[in-house]
Amino acid sequence: MSKIAFTGGGTVGHVSVNLSLIPTAIEEGYEVCYIGSKAGIEREMIESQLPNINYHVISSGKLRRYISWENIKDVFKVLKGIVDARKALKKEQPDILFSKGGFVSVPVVIAAKSLNIPTIIHESDLTPGLANKISLKFAKKIYTTFEDTLQYLPNDKADFVGATVREDLKSGDKKRGYQLTHFNEDKKVLLVMGGSLGSKKLNEIIRQNLNALQETYQVIHLTGKGLLDSAYNEQQGYVQFEFVKDDLTDLLAITDTVISRAGSNAIYEFLTLKIPMLLIPLGLDQSRGDQIDNAKNFESKGFGRTIPEDTLTETDLIKQLNEIEDERETIIEQMSVYKESFTRYDLFHKILQDAN
């Protein structure tokens, strides 16, 4: 039986495509293993959602774009990671490695190259991350979610595949969504998502301006872990959750407008559902700027608006939401031009084809 190894981690976005492809590989008769870090989110997600998968732990260092003494230590961590990954790959003997990126993936891709295991890598963001830039030297192909990403990559190695969104995305139940929120079906719904860690600044602005927001919307507020505020528990037309997992599709089914971070996976889900979006990307103080690029790209295509978090004010927030409401039909029309591309089965079979 053929086998595929998967790697990628550090953020949810570096795992989500793998979570879609692994069940596909198993359905197609392939054995699967995963190589990741000891304490990364990838381990938590894989072991909780796919507990029967062999998970191999390797050492991994952080790839920094600035000078730091930690970089010296991390060189040795990466070297050890290559050794760890070689051991795991020799034990598992996969036919293909699929890498979703993140710093943990680099040692695995290098190890795979040293063992002549063909590697396919995937880039979700508009501009390639440092890990994938390094990994590309050792890989056969890189797939992109944004077509505009191709301009940053060698023509002979890069293919545009679009976003592979989860199959249950469109299965949300509106009735269930209204039951969860106790909202009125006759009034629009605004969903606020500040990412897995939440955004204290965004949370404060939303709560301080609830009265103004509720002139137009009922508000679902995903605050992030530990950021609920019990003072608002009895607020009519407002419901807050730290995060939502299984019920998110039901909440999306009743959502008219979304305020969100600009991670690639999330914004392509909103696009697929044709939900106009106001994007508040992570700033350069918290990221390499990938979400800023993603947000600008979507704004340029007419899918919504964006506000940098460092300039976010209540005035801007209300103004941009009002503009989205005024242009709702135009935005949805622009979104309708977007065509979903590769299903998870299409993508899986492309991986098999390109690896051979």
Q: Report residue 119: phi and psi, to 5°.
A: -120, 135
CA–CA distance, 143 with 333 (Å, rounded to integer): 27
Would you kindly state where each structural domain of the chain is located, as residue ranges? 3-165+341-355, 168-337
Contacts with 152 (C-beta within 8 Å, 6 or more apart), sequence order: 127, 128
Sheet-wide strand order for 3-7: 54-57, 31-36, 3-7, 96-99, 119-123, 141-144, 158-160
CA–CA distance, 65 with 130 (Å, rounded to integer): 8
Which residue matches tokens 């500040």?
Answer: 194
Closest Cα partner for 59 from 78, 40, 34?
78
CA–CA distance, 352 with 22 (Å, rounded to integer): 13
CATH homologous superfamily of 168-337: Glycogen Phosphorylase B; (3.40.50.2000)
3-state helix/strand/coil string of the chain = CCEEEEECCCCHHHCHHHHHHHHHHHHCCCEEEEEECCCCHHHHHHHHHCCCCEEEECCCCCCCCCCCCHHHHHHHHHHHHHHHHHHHHHHHCCCEEEECCCCCHHHHHHHHHHCCCCEEEEECCCCCCHHHHHHHCCCCEEEECCHHHHHHCCCCCEEECCCCCCHHHHHCCHHHHHHHHCCCCCCEEEEEECCCCCCHHHHHHHHHCHHHHCCCEEEEEECCCCCCCHHHCCCCCEEEECCCCCCHHHHHHCCCEEEECCCHHHHHHHHHHCCCEEECCCCCCCCCCHHHHHHHHHHHCCCEEECCHHHCCHHHHHHHHHHHHHCHHHHHHHHHHCCCCCCHHHHHHHHHHHHC
Annotated ligand binding at 353? The verdict is: no
CA–CA distance, 35 with 6 (Å, rounded to integer): 6
Annotated ligand binding at 235? The verdict is: no
Per CATH, domain 3-165+341-355 is 3.40.50.2000: yes
pLDDT of the residue at 71: 64
pLDDT of the residue at 70: 64
CA–CA distance, 281 with 266 (Å, rounded to integer): 12
The tokens for 87 are 């051991």
pLDDT of the residue at 337: 86
Say yes or no: do domains 3-165+341-355 and 168-337 share a fold: yes
The tokens for 263 are 């991670």
pTM of the shown model: 0.86
- For residue 95, CA distances in Å to 33, 89, 227, 335, 352 come to 11, 10, 45, 39, 10
- For residue 239, CA distances in Å to 190, 199, 242, 269, 325 come to 11, 17, 11, 22, 21
Which residue matches tokens 């605004």?
Answer: 190
Taking only the tens of pLDDT, the chain with its 356 residues reads 699 999 999 877 788 899 989 999 999 999 999 999 998 889 988 998 999 999 999 998 665 555 566 667 777 888 999 999 999 999 999 999 999 998 999 999 999 999 999 999 999 999 998 899 999 999 999 999 999 999 999 999 999 999 888 878 889 999 999 999 999 999 999 999 987 666 788 899 999 999 999 999 999 999 988 899 999 898 999 999 988 888 999 999 999 999 999 989 899 999 999 999 999 998 765 667 789 999 999 999 999 999 998 888 989 999 999 999 999 999 999 999 887 778 899 999 999 999 98
Annotated ligand binding at 60? The verdict is: no
pLDDT of the residue at 290: 84
pLDDT of the residue at 343: 86
pLDDT of the residue at 196: 63
Closest Cα partner for 139 from 96, 201, 75, 80?
96
Crossing angle of helices 70-92 and 105-114, in 10° steps, is: 50
